[in-house]
Amino acid sequence: MQKLFFTQFLPNHFQMKIFNVIIINVLVSILCYSQTQKPFLMQTDFHPAQIWSDTNGNPINAHGGGVIFFEGKYYWYGEHKLAGKSEAQFADGGIHCYSSEDLFNWKDEGIVLSVDYQDEKSDLAYGCILERPKVVYNEKNKQFVAYFKLYLRGIGYETSNVGVAVSDKPAGPFVYHHRFHGGGSPKGSGDFSMFRDDDGNLYHLTVRKPDKAFVIGKLDGDYYYPEGDYQICKGIELHTEAPVVIKRKGVYHLLGSGSSGWKPNAARYYTSKSILGEWTYHGNPCHGYNKIDSVGIEKTFGGQSSYIIPVQGISDAYIAMFDIWRPENPVAGRYIWLPIEIKEDKFSITWRDNWNLDAFGQ
C-alpha cells in the first residue's frame, strides 16, 4: 500500500498508529451512516393496521381518502394531518397525494391542495376543517375534480359545505374552485361518496344535516354542482356514515358505518339494483379479529370505511380501505386495507395480518 505523504517522515510505529486511527474512523463513519440512512425496501405485501411508509421512508399521510387509476398509475388522495396538532387544535393541512404502479409502494407527490395560511377570509383559511377528499376524472372537461367536506374557519361542525377543487393533472396541483351545500339542506351534509356510473353520470351520496337521513343527488355535466333535488335512499338506516359505493355486474354495493364520532363501530353493508334504491341491508360484512389493536368486527377492526379500490388487471378484485382514527394525534392514524371476498354475489371482508394480490386467486 502506498504511504500517505505526511507519514513518510515518521517512524514506523507512528505510521501504524495513524493508519489504525484512520481505519477506525472510516469504520465508525460507515456504521453511523448505516444507522441513520435506511434504504427503501420494495414492499410486496399489505400489513393492515401497521405503519405504512412511502418510498422516502416516511409514514404515509393521506387519511380518510380514496384512490383512482389513471394511465397506468394509482393515485391515493387523503387528508394531510399536521404533526403536533390534535383534531381540536386544527390538524388539517390540505390534500396529500401519493402515486403507485403496484398498490404497495407509494411515491410522495406532495400536498396538492393546501389550506391557506395567509388569508383569514379564504374558504380554506387555516383553522377550517377539510376531510375525506375524493377525486373523480371528468372526461368531458379532461379535468380531475376533488371533493371534500369543508367546515369554514370558526364555524365548527354545525354547517357543512362540499369543497370543490380542480386540476389538469392527477398529481395536481389542485386549485380551489367553489363550495356548495350538499344534501339539499342549508346545513349541508356530512360523510359522502362520489360515484360515477357507467353512463358518466356522477352522484353524491351523503348523510344529510341535521336529520341524518341518507340521501343521493346527481351532479351536473361538469361535476361542479348538484343538478336537481336530492332524494332519500330508501332502505339505508339513519346515521349511516363513511359511505363507499361501487357497482359490480349491475348491482350497486354500499359499505358504511354507524355514527359514533371518532370512535369505531360496526360496519354496514347494503345492495341495490338501482343507484337510487331501494337498498337491501345485509348486516356487517366483516369477519375476524385485529390482533394488533385487539379489536373485532363489532368495531370494524378499529377502523372506519373510506373507499373501495378496483384492482386493475384482475377480474373481480376489490380492496376495502379503512382508517384508524387518532383524534389526539391524527398524523399517527393508520390504514387497514383488506381484500373483498365475493360469496354468492355478496361482499365479505376478513381480517388478515398480511396479504398480497394472490388473495384474489389469479
CA–CA dist 282, 193 (Å, integer): 19
Is residue 24 in some structural domain? Answer: no
pLDDT computed for residue 41 by the predictor: 82
Nearest to 194 by CA among 144, 236, 246, 265: 246
pLDDT tens digits, 261-287:
999 999 999 999 999 999 999 999 999
Residue 308 pLDDT exceeds 90: yes
Task: Return the percentage of the chain with pLDDT > 70, whole number.
Answer: 89
pLDDT tens digits, 225-249:
999 999 999 999 999 999 999 999 9
Residue that has been written with the C-alpha cell 345492495 in this structure: 271
Is residue 203 in some structural domain? Answer: yes
CA–CA dist 221, 327 (Å, integer): 37
Residue 320 pLDDT exceeds 80: yes
Is residue 106 in some structural domain? Answer: yes
pLDDT computed for residue 362 by the predictor: 59
pLDDT tens digits, 165-203:
999 999 999 999 999 999 999 999 999 999 999 999 999
pLDDT tens digits, 1-47:
444 443 444 455 444 443 443 333 433 333 333 333 345 689 999 99
pLDDT tens digits, 216-227:
999 999 999 999
- What's the one-letter identity of residue 361? G
pLDDT computed for residue 15 by the predictor: 43
Which is it for the CA torsion 64, 65, 66, 67, positive or negative? negative
Give me Rg for the CA atoms of the chain. Answer: 25
CA distances to 109, 149, 180, 220, 353 from 163, rounded to whole Å, are 21, 6, 7, 15, 36
- On average, the pLDDT of the chain sits at 91
Is residue 40 in some structural domain? Answer: no
Is residue 337 in some structural domain? Answer: yes
- The answer to whether residues 106 and 55 touch, using CB atoms and an 8 Å cutoff, is yes
pLDDT computed for residue 361 by the predictor: 85
pLDDT tens digits, 61-98:
999 999 999 999 999 999 999 999 999 999 999 999 99
CA distances to 38, 83, 93, 213, 346 from 336, rounded to whole Å, are 24, 21, 22, 27, 20
CA dihedral 325, 113, 338, 334 (to 10 degrees): -30
Residue 329 pLDDT exceeds 60: yes
Average pLDDT of span 104-114? 98
Is residue 62 in some structural domain? Answer: yes
pLDDT computed for residue 2 by the predictor: 42
CATH of the domain at 327: 2.115.10.20
CB atoms closer than 10 angstroms to residue 35: 8
pLDDT computed for residue 14 by the predictor: 40
| Cis peptide bond upstream of 278, omega within 30 | yes
Q: Output the nine-digit C-alpha cell for 236.
A: 339505508
Is residue 17 in some structural domain? Answer: no
CA–CA dist 221, 215 (Å, integer): 20
Strand order in 129-138's β-sheet? 129-138, 143-151, 161-167, 175-180
CA distances to 45, 97, 163, 285, 362 from 174, rounded to whole Å, are 31, 11, 12, 35, 37
CA distances to 81, 115, 149, 162, 297 from 182, rounded to whole Å, are 24, 21, 10, 6, 31
Alpha helices in 54-191 (DSSP H): none
- The answer to whether residues 76 and 63 touch, using CB atoms and an 8 Å cutoff, is no
pLDDT computed for residue 350 by the predictor: 98
| Cα angle for residues 305, 223, 178 (degrees, 5° grid) | 90
Is residue 44 in some structural domain? Answer: no
Number of domains in the chain: 1
Q: Phi then psi for 23, rounded to 5 degrees?
A: -60, -45
**Domain of 216?**
54-360
